[in-house]
């Protein structure tokens, strides 16, 4: 075996160990009852500090309803609904079990799953596809829910695998998003960007911001960035499909 092959095998082994560690973390959280922490029941509360974004989203959902469509809202890592934003159907994906007080209904579907499990998230995406539900709005604000998965900055490979998993899920959700739809994103980990903050790096130039900017540039979608005391917040919008000219 060549030296290059040895490096590849070593890397593959390390990647498998990291994925196993992520899954073991989820298993422990389920066993101890410490799941993704939740503190929002209403998706509009994610946007309380960003009224302009809230107006843009509610206006878009109002336009969809005026066309006779039923706008879909999806909350990742939480159990919030989007009815006050103007959604008609709401879905959530979280490791958090579904307690009685959340009262799932025909228009509010809750799915239990592990964000770092490709199988779980793919099953959720396929569930949405099979139900004919293309999200108009997606929110991702883990609050404290992903703190146990915070990658060790000293382990570059660990951090890359964690963020690759998150970006892969973002890509799948974006592909399913309605043209004109929105994805709201906050930083996934509380300590994310802390070192850059103390180094005086502007939030819009942080590593996370640059990664999301690159994601949007590759897809030619719009991106707005808002600074906050809790780190940058992002609003992605998928461009509307242009109507083909006839004649």
Q: pLDDT per residue over 102-145, tens digit each?
A: 555 678 888 888 888 888 999 999 999 999 999 999 999 876 55
Q: Name the nearest CA neighbour of 172 among 53, 242, 76.
A: 76
Q: Does pTM top 0.85 for this prediction? A: no
**Running DSSP on this structure, what letter comes out for residue 125?**
H
Domains observed in the chain: 3-237 (3.40.50)
What average pLDDT score do residues 85-91 get? 96
Which SS3 state, helix, strand or coil, does residue 63 take? helix
108-112 and 222-226 strand pairing = unpaired
- Which range, 7-21, 31-45, 181-195, 228-242, is most confident? 228-242
Burial category of 5 from C-beta neighbours within 10 Å (exposed 0-12, middle 13-18, buried 19 and up): exposed
CA distance linking residue 74 with residue 183, whole number of Å: 9
How confident is the model at residue 67, as a pLDDT?
Answer: 96
């Amino acid at each position: 075996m060549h030296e290059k092959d040895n490096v590849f095998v070593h890397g593959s082994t390390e990647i498998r160990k990291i994925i196993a560690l992520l899954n073991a973390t989820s298993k422990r959280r389920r066993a101890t009852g410490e799941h993704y922490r939740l503190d929002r029941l209403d998706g509009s509360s994610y946007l309380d500090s960003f009224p302009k974004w809230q107006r843009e989203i509610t206006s878009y959902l109002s336009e969809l309803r005026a066309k006779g469509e039923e706008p879909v809202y999806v909350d990742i890592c939480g159990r919030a609904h989007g009815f006050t934003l103007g959604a008609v159907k709401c879905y959530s994906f979280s490791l958090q079990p579904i307690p009685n007080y959340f009262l799932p209904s025909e228009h509010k579907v809750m799915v239990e799953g592990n964000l770092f499990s490709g199988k779980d998230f793919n099953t959720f995406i396929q569930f949405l596809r099979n139900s004919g539900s293309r999200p108009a709005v997606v929110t991702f604000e883990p609050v404290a829910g992903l703190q146990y998965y915070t990658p060790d900055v000293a382990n570059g490979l660990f951090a890359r695998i964690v963020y690759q998993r998150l970006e892969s899920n973002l890509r799948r959700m974006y592909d399913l998003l309605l043209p004109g739809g929105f994805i709201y994103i906050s930083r996934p980990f509380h300590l994310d960007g802390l070192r850059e903050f103390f180094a005086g790096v502007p939030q819009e130039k942080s590593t996370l911001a640059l990664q999301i900017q690159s994601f949007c540039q590759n897809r030619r979608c719009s991106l707005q960035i808002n600074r906050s005391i809790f780190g940058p917040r992002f609003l992605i919008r998928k461009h509307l499909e242009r109507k083909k000219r006839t004649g």
